[in-house]
Amino acid sequence: MSELVKVIGGGLAGCECALQLLKAGFAVKMYEMRPMKNTGAHSTDRLAELVCSNSLKSEEPTTASGLLKEELNLLGCELLPLAAGSKVPSGSALAVDREKFSELVENALQSYDNFELVREEVMELDSTPTVIATGPLTSEAMAKIVGEISGKKRLFFYDAIAPIVAADSIDYDKAYFGGRYGKGGEDYLNLPMQRDEYEAFYNALVEAQTVVLHDFEKSEL
Ligand SMILES: Cc1cc2nc3c(=O)[nH]c(=O)nc-3n(C[C@H](O)[C@H](O)[C@H](O)COP(=O)(O)OP(=O)(O)OC[C@H]3O[C@@H](n4cnc5c(N)ncnc54)[C@H](O)[C@@H]3O)c2cc1C
């Protein structure tokens, strides 16, 4: 019988880890707390949900993120080919249809007989070999355990969130579709501005009403 490894967290890291373990012949029991308990940033119960941008950035090996992808592919990364299989047009970047991506990841995991998914928040560890992959929005109980193991009382994560612009708020007489840096098709919607227009836009943006922060986003400094 295959040795069992617990993977806590069904995000990007947990899914890659589980697929690597399954490929190497281990049995995997994955614990994912969604949808019973949500994180505040995830909006579905899907595995490997991309919480913000759907772009995994450049595929060009002359850029840092492109080189990293080349290296990941050489190392047998499991998620990148699935990202390629759910690619949407975005010039030289690798952007994905997030629902299709999650579906491909779930199918890949479920294709192994010795994979089990448990929808449950893990609040304590036992002696089973375990990978903690609970991400930046680790639940309180698990953050406490990680704090005890690492000897750090608190760990913090700060990030910006990509704004989403409603398509019907755009004046298409002024905006136009085009490529980026002459690569790919007409994949991006461009909003051209003169310098004074850009400066007015910038000032309006930085002075605009901002979103109300979630509790987990409040500054701890
Ligand atoms: C608001 C926000 C915006 C972000 N924007 C970007 C971006 O644009 N680009 C980018 O590259 N990265 C972004 N990130 C970082 C992003 O979270 C990571 O890139 C990526 O999702 C990390 O993958 P992960 O597997 O480590 O964590 P996640 O994808 O978050 O997966 C962790 C999983 O663990 C589960 N979990 C947590 N605690 C428990 C528990 N106790 N028991 C069981 N399950 C548990 C969660 O439900 C979650 O599904 C953003 C993060 C946040 C919070």
pLDDT in tens, 77-99: 999 999 999 999 988 899 999 99
The pLDDT of residue 49 is 96
Domain that holds residue 18: 4-54+97-150
Q: Which atom of ligand 1 is nearest to the CA of 16?
A: 25
Counting ligand 1 atoms within 8 A of each CB, the residue from 20, 52, 138 with the most, and so the one to mutate, is 52
Q: Which atom of ligand 1 is nearest to the CA of 11?
A: 31
52 Cα to the center of ligand 1, angstroms: 9
Distance CA 206, CA 117 (A): 44
In a shared domain, residues 173 and 141:
no
Q: What is the pLDDT of residues 158-210, one digit of tens each?
A: 777 667 788 899 999 999 998 887 777 788 888 899 999 999 999 998 998 88
In a shared domain, residues 182 and 123:
no
Pocket of ligand 1 (CB under 6 A): 8-14, 31-34, 39, 41-42, 51-53, 121-122, 133-139, 141-142, 159, 161-162
Pairing between β-strand 93-96 and β-strand 87-88 as defined by DSSP bridges: antiparallel
Distance CA 215, CA 35 (A): 19
Distance CA 158, CA 24 (A): 35
Cβ atoms 67, 78 nearer than 8 A? no
In a shared domain, residues 124 and 198:
no
**Higher pLDDT pick, 122 / 220:** 122
Determine, yes or no, domain membership for 110: yes
In a 3-state reduction of DSSP, which class is residue 61?
coil
Q: What is the pLDDT of residues 113-149, one digit of tens each?
A: 999 999 999 999 999 999 999 998 999 999 999 999 9
The pLDDT of residue 47 is 98
Q: Which atom of ligand 1 is nearest to the CA of 157?
A: 53
In a shared domain, residues 102 and 133:
yes
In a shared domain, residues 46 and 102:
yes
The CATH number for 141's domain is 3.50.50.60
In a shared domain, residues 137 and 176:
no
Determine, yes or no, domain membership for 15: yes
pTM equals 0.83
Q: Which atom of ligand 1 is nearest to the CA of 161?
A: 3
Question: Helices in the chain by DSSP H: which ranges?
Answer: 12-23, 64-74, 79-84, 98-110, 140-150, 195-207
Counting ligand 1 atoms within 8 A of each CB, the residue from 137, 156, 157 with the most, and so the one to mutate, is 137
184 Cα to the center of ligand 1, angstroms: 29
Distance CA 204, CA 201 (A): 5
In a shared domain, residues 103 and 144:
yes
